Chain A
Amino acid sequence: MDPSEVEFLAEKETVKIIPNFSLDKIYLIGGDLGPFNPGLPVEVPVWLALNLKQRQKCRIVPPEWMDVEKLEEMRDLERREDTFTPAPCPYYMELTKLLLNYASDNIPKADEIRTLVKDIWDTRIAKLRLSADSFISQMEAHAKLDNLTLMEINTIRSFLLDSLNCMFKLRSNLQPGSSKAQFTDY
């Protein structure tokens, strides 16, 4: 899976905006988007929010978790715990990148937020690698990891699956006689 595909899935999350135009309720296949009145906040999906922002028709309100104190707490909690803590948002990395690229004027202390999110990301990736390493070295059959976001899974997916394949091949050497010559079709 491409990181761009994960970003596409992330754009379905909702975010609050304050439009400066008015429009009646619109009925889309995915759901209804409530009537737009200038100055009144309304919840829309991120893809629409970014589009409106680029056309200068709205102002984006930062989501609740995108706050310096909250992120600092999360970062410290993440560093203290050995297992994964619940992420700020299931798509925190993508939303940070998108909102801070297109709407950084609406978000206070954008640079600090970027640094904090990067810290949280680095800590979680380090934990992920540690657990992948113990998974392989103890040759477990399966592992359970809570609170992982799709982007983190995506970065390690191809490497982990390939190495588990290699391990399977080498482990099947230990049982001789169970592999007979088979012809695979291509």
Chain B
Amino acid sequence: MDTQSYLSVQPGVGMEENFLSLDDILLSHEKLPIRTECTFPRLGFLEKSSDSQDITEGTKMELPVWLSKGLYEKKRRVLSVETPKVYREGWRTVFNADPNVVNLHKMGPYYYGLGSQMLHFDSPENPEIAQTLLQTFIGRFRRIMDSSQNAYNEDTSVLVEHLDCLEKTLFRSGQSGLNGFQSWEKGQASQLTASSLVLNYRKRKMTDAQP
């Protein structure tokens, strides 16, 4: 297990986002389908399909999460957000039936994160969305645990294909625990090896510098 000289900031808890977390920043770039409730004058360039100067009321377009969250207000004067396909009734029954067969990477790599952010937008289905997220996670947990704790020294790309980003982090931590134990058992833990930082920087060695 290599020591970590760089500890990345974790994604935020539940409905909050961590400002400095790279995962959350990438997540907030995902697009949400929205419907405008008022006109946006002179912003027509944002909407690629029509050529008008401003965006009229009632246009359906896609905005990233960070913009939608900023513009959304309880009084709904500005825009209203529709739930994306994956969080709607149809897909929810699929998830409740068997969470293991779904390819969460294809459903948007940030299924859990985006789902948590969706709850900001006061849709009437919010409790069900939250419940489905939790149940999907619980259902898939067993498979992630088994695959991460048993795949030693193998190519794991097949196992990781269907996981979304949150699950991939979990898989990696399971792998690191397994690798640490196995390398200790083989006796590699007591051998001195060059640190990965030094190898990456490729510092000039004394022997190279001398003529």
B-binding residues in A (CB < 8 A): 2-4, 7, 97, 101, 129, 132-133, 136-137, 139, 151, 154-159, 162-163, 165-174, 176, 179, 181-184, 186
Bound-state CA distance A96–B136 (Å) is 41
Contact digits for B121-164, partner A, Cβ 8 Å, 1 yes 0 no: 00000110011011001100110111011000000000000000
Looking at B9, B12, B16, which has the most chain A CB atoms within 10 Å of its CB? B16
Task: For the complex formed, measure the closest distance between the CB of B69 and the CB atoms of chain A, giving whole angstroms.
Answer: 11
Bound-state CA distance A182–B13 (Å) is 11
State whether B141 touches A170 (Cβ < 8 A). Answer: no
Bound-state CA distance A157–B137 (Å) is 19
Q: Which residue of B116, B142, B190 is within 8 Å of A170 (Cβ)?
A: B116
State whether A166 touches B137 (Cβ < 8 A). Answer: yes
Main secondary structure of the interface of B (DSSP, over half): helix
Main secondary structure of the interface of A (DSSP, over half): helix
**Closest Cβ neighbor of A173 among chain B residues:** B130
Bound-state CA distance A186–B177 (Å) is 27
Among B32-40, B70-78, B179-187, the stretch in contact with A: B179-187
State whether B169 touches A162 (Cβ < 8 A). Answer: yes
Task: For the complex formed, measure the closest distance between the CB of B205 and the CB atoms of chain A, giving whole angstroms.
Answer: 27
* Contact A159 B187, CB 8 Å, known A3-B180, A137-B141: no
Q: Any chain A CB within 8 A of the CB of B112?
A: yes
* Contact A155 B177, CB 8 Å, known A162-B170, A173-B133: yes
State whether B138 touches A2 (Cβ < 8 A). Answer: no
A-binding residues in B (CB < 8 A): 1, 9-10, 12-16, 18-20, 112, 115-116, 119, 126-127, 130-131, 133-134, 137-138, 141-142, 144-146, 148-149, 166, 169-170, 173-174, 176-178, 180-181, 183-185, 187, 189-190
* Contact A179 B13, CB 8 Å, known A2-B1, A2-B180: yes
State whether A133 touches B145 (Cβ < 8 A). Answer: yes
Task: For the complex formed, measure the closest distance between the CB of A5 and the CB atoms of chain B, giving whole angstroms.
Answer: 10
* Contact A159 B134, CB 8 Å, known A4-B190, A101-B187, A173-B15: no
* Contact A3 B181, CB 8 Å, known A172-B14, A176-B15, A176-B119: yes
Q: Which residue of B177, B178, B189 is within 8 Å of A4 (Cβ)?
A: B189
State whether B9 touches A186 (Cβ < 8 A). Answer: yes
Q: A168-B13, A176-B126, A182-B16 are in contact. List 4 more A-B contacts (CB 8 A).
A: A97-B185, A129-B149, A156-B177, A163-B170
State whether B137 touches A167 (Cβ < 8 A). Answer: yes
Query: Which B residues are CB-close (under 8 A) to A173?
Result: 14-15, 115-116, 119, 130, 133-134
Looking at A157, A158, A170, which has the most chain B CB atoms within 10 Å of its CB? A170
Bound-state CA distance A169–B146 (Å) is 22
Task: For the complex formed, measure the closest distance between the CB of A103 and the CB atoms of chain B, giving whole angstroms.
Answer: 15
Query: Which B residues are CB-close (under 8 A) to A157?
Result: 177
State whether B18 touches A169 (Cβ < 8 A). Answer: no
State whether B14 touches A170 (Cβ < 8 A). Answer: yes
Query: Which A residues are CB-close (under 8 A) to B170?
Result: 159, 162-163, 166
State whether A132 touches B145 (Cβ < 8 A). Answer: yes
Bound-state CA distance A97–B13 (Å) is 41
Query: Which B residues are CB-close (under 8 A) to A184?
Result: 18
* Contact A172 B189, CB 8 Å, known A133-B141, A155-B177: no
Task: For the complex formed, measure the closest distance between the CB of B170 and the CB atoms of chain A, giving whole angstroms.
Answer: 5
